[in-house]
Amino acid sequence: MSTFEKELKNVKSCSSEFILAVNDTLNVLNGKWKLPIIGTLLFGKKRFREMERCIPNITARMLSKELKELELNGMVKRTVYDTIPVCIEYELTKSGKSLTLVLDSMAVWGLRHRKIAMTSEKA
């Protein structure tokens, strides 16, 4: 029995804890911009402006706010370089990178479900 399976068994033994744990994950991803932000950082460090250009329609205000939240949640690491003008880089932490496992399963489910919905086999 893998570590993953053991953890899972422990979680499912109490459904409310299960819900809480899933909610924790949902909260990290919630809002309109968290996902695109994490998405762009999956390919490596980026600067603020760079991210603003990468993510369609995001405003500086939103980018700033979301990055701050992600930093508080320990998903993103912010590094300031004392150049002139200052250069600030954002990158995913270990926790942030580990989200890819979750994101992958969500992506696969999303695609499968879209196919099912399109062929209207809804049951």
Give the residues lining the site for a copy of itself (CB under 8 A). 4, 7-8, 11-12, 15, 18-26, 28-30, 35-36, 39, 42-43, 73-74, 77, 93-95, 98-99, 101-114, 116-117, 122-123
Q: Using alpha carbons only, how large is the chain's radius of gyration in Å?
A: 18
- Which residues 61-80 are close enough to bind DNA by CB under 7 A? 61-62, 64-65, 67-68, 78
Please state the length of the chain. Answer: 123
Residue 118 contact among DNA, a copy of itself, none, beta carbon within 5 to 8 Å by kind: none
Using DSSP's 3-state secondary structure scheme, residue 87 falls into strand
Measure the CA dihedral 119/31/19/70, to 10°: 130
